[in-house]
A and B are shown apart, each in its own frame.
Chain A
Amino acid sequence: ELKVEQNPLFLSMQEGKNYTIYCNYSTTSDRLYWYRQDPGKSLESLFVLLSNGAVKQEGRLMASLDTKARLSTLHITAAVHDLSATYFCAVGMDSSYKLIFGSGTRLLVRP
């Protein structure tokens, strides 16, 4: 059974600092997604990573995928308060269309 683990589960960081969120998954997959969720809101798609070595960047966020290590990272550069949210990674199973989500990383960016 595919398991997806994120760490850390909670991250409090100062504005202007850099940090990385990690997403490990247990079985082979070539589809990795990152979503953002604000409190009480639905999920907003951030990145879709479809191949080993894929790297995508949007603003202060950069996501990468290493399918051999079964690891994806979400790197935050020079954090700002507006990035405060919960970030989920999700993995697509090869034989299915469903997504398996991690527990999420709650990010709080402090002034």
Chain B
Amino acid sequence: DTGVSQNPRHKITKRGQNVTFRCDPISEHNRLYWYRQTLGQGPEFLTYFQNEAQLEKSRLLSDRFSAERPKGSFSTLEIQRTEQGDSAMYLCASSLELYEQYFGPGTRLTVT
């Protein structure tokens, strides 16, 4: 399967711990996006990369959040000092051009 992959699929952590998620985009896609989805809502944009450059960040992305895409391939999203409000599904998407974004299966984060 050559779709977008994300790891881990589920993460349970205690408040105050740091967590890191990984996203592997479709291999030829140069654009990569992170979204967050809470129960009953649509995904909310967090950040966007074109190749290795992080070009846009949402105001939702507080100082505790950091994302990287070294070498323009996979990406990581780290949340430091997690809070219960961080509990959500974190979705990664990739695209080749401007138009269609393909989503991965997501990482469900639960902060206890």
Question: Could you tell me which A residues sit within 8 Å of B by CB distance?
Answer: 4, 31, 33, 35, 41-45, 48, 50, 88, 90, 92, 96-104
Contact = CB atoms under 8 A, between A and B. Distances in A.
Nearest to B44: A101
A103 B42 CA distance: 5
A interface: dominant SS: strand
Contact of A97 (B31, B41, B102, B106): B31
B33 A90 contact: no
Interface of B: 31, 33, 35, 40-45, 48, 50, 55-56, 58, 91, 95, 98-106
A88 B42 contact: yes
Contact of A33 (B40, B50, B58, B100): B100
Contacts of B95: 97
Given A48-B100, A97-B98, A104 B33 contact: no
A41 B105 contact: yes
Nearest to A88: B42
Nearest to B105: A42
A67 B105 CA distance: 31
Nearest to A95: B56
Contacts of B101: 33, 45, 99
B48 A97 contact: yes
A104 B106 contact: no
A43 B105 CA distance: 8
Contacts of B105: 41-42
A42 B43 CA distance: 10
B38 to A, nearest CB: 11
Given A42-B104, A96-B56, A97-B31, A50 B99 contact: yes
B42 A104 contact: yes
16 contacts: A4-B42, A42-B103, A43-B91, A45-B100, A48-B99, A90-B42, A97-B31, A97-B48, A97-B56, A98-B33, A98-B48, A98-B56, A99-B101, A101-B42, A103-B40, A104-B41
